[in-house]
């Protein structure tokens, strides 16, 4: 997979490149409108990550160029701008998703997967973990023929942890994934423990859930 990152902040771009390249993704970086415009005209990309606030132009204009030169590329807008009009305009102009800074790379990866699934025609997708089958279309879990009822939040948590298997996901990352940004304080991060407890209880009635590990004081990890 080849992606183009359009981002003027070098420090952020460095982390971005480091993270993506670790996942064997070829990543080009354009720090300005001019560089991005050139890269879009010359290369072919699977994903374009577009920052709207560029020093020499408006990222929204680049969106039109992306749609022109990169007909198959999936575009995710990454911006620290707060104006909702930009968001609406970006999505109207053909962006596939919009992620507000500061975002977690784990969240970005989850969004990328969701877009890929959506664009690939909603093919039925199931994930197996320890004999439990997560059906991503119907948002249900079953064990053998038995259907297990999880709440939306519980399913979302389990799926997020599974997307990032073998990696420690801290409570804040999990809380942000399921609650968003708008609760008053960090109180909701404590609720993650409650959800995990419920997941363990519900799944534990059918089989062992040892694969869902607690990392003390930090968060959780699914070991595959």
Partner 1 sequence: MYLSTKMLLYNLLAKGIILLFFLMTGPFLLKYFALMDIDAELKDKRDQILAIISENGMEDFFVGNDSPGGFGSYNILKEEYVLLERLEDPFLLDSIFNEERILDKVTVSYRVCAYVFSFEDETYLMEIGKSLETINRIFDLLFRIIIFLLLAFLVLSFFLDTIFSKWLIQPFRKIIRDKIAHINEPQQFKHEPVKTSTKDFRLLDDSISHMMWRIQKAFNQERVFISHASHELKTPVSILQTKIEAFFGDETLNEREMERLMDMQQTIQKLKKIINSLLLLSKVNNAQYLKTETVPLHELVQELVEEWEPLAEDRNLELNLEIRDEFDAKSSNGSLCHIMIQNALSNAMKYSYKGSTIKLVGRLGPDEYQLLVLNEGPAISDELMDQVASGLVFLKDAKKESSGYGLQIIYKIASFLGVGVRVESNSSGTKFIFCFPVT
Q: Which residues of the chain form contacts with partner 1 (CB under 8 A)?
A: 9, 11-12, 15-16, 18-19, 22, 53, 79-86, 100-106, 151-154, 167-168, 170, 172-173, 176, 181-189, 191, 194-195, 197-198, 215-218
Q: Which residues lie closer than 8 Å to 94 by C-beta, 6 or more apart?
A: 63, 67, 75
Q: Which helix (H) or strand (E) holds 204?
A: helix 187-204
Nearest-angstrom CA–CA distance, 146 and 3: 41
| Cβ proximity to partner 1, 15 vs 125, nearer residue | 15
Tokens 């977690």 belong to residue: 104
- Answer yes or no: are the C-beta atoms of 98 and 71 closer than 8 Å: no
| Cβ proximity to partner 1, 70 vs 154, nearer residue | 154
| Cβ proximity to partner 1, 83 vs 146, nearer residue | 83
Q: 148-187 burial, b if ≥16 CB within 10 A, otherwise e? A: bebeebbbbbbbbbbbbeeeebbbebbbbbbeeeeeeeee
- Answer yes or no: are the C-beta atoms of 194 and 188 closer than 8 Å: no
Nearest distance from C-beta of residue 106 to partner 1, angstroms: 7
| Cβ proximity to partner 1, 70 vs 161, nearer residue | 161
| Cβ proximity to partner 1, 101 vs 119, nearer residue | 101
Nearest distance from C-beta of residue 89 to partner 1, angstroms: 13
Dmax over CA atoms of the chain, in Å, equals 58
């Amino acid at each position: 997979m080849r992606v183009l990152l359009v981002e003027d902040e070098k420090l952020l771009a460095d982390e971005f490149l480091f993270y993506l390249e670790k996942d064997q993704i070829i990543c080009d970086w354009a720090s300005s409108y001019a560089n991005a415009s050139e890269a879009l005209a010359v290369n072919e990309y699977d994903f374009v990550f577009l920052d709207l606030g560029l020093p020499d132009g408006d990222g929204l204009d680049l969106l039109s160029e992306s749609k022109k030169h990169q007909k198959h590329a999936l575009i995710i807008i990454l911006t620290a701008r707060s104006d909702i009009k930009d968001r609406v305009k970006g999505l109207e102009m053909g962006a596939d998703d919009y992620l507000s800074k500061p975002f977690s790379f784990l969240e970005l990866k989850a969004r990328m997967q969701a877009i890929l699934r959506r664009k690939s025609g909603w093919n039925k997708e199931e994930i197996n973990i320890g004999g439990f089958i997560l059906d991503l279309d119907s948002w249900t879990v079953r064990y053998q023929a038995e259907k297990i009822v999880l709440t939306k939040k519980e399913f979302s948590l389990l799926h997020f942890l599974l997307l990032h298997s073998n990696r420690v996901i801290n409570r804040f990352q999990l809380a942000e994934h399921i609650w968003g940004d708008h609760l008053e304080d960090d109180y909701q991060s404590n609720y993650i423990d409650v959800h995990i407890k419920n997941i363990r209880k519900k799944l534990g009635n059918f089989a062992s859930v040892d694969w869902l590990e607690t990392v003390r004081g930090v968060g959780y990890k699914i070991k595959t």
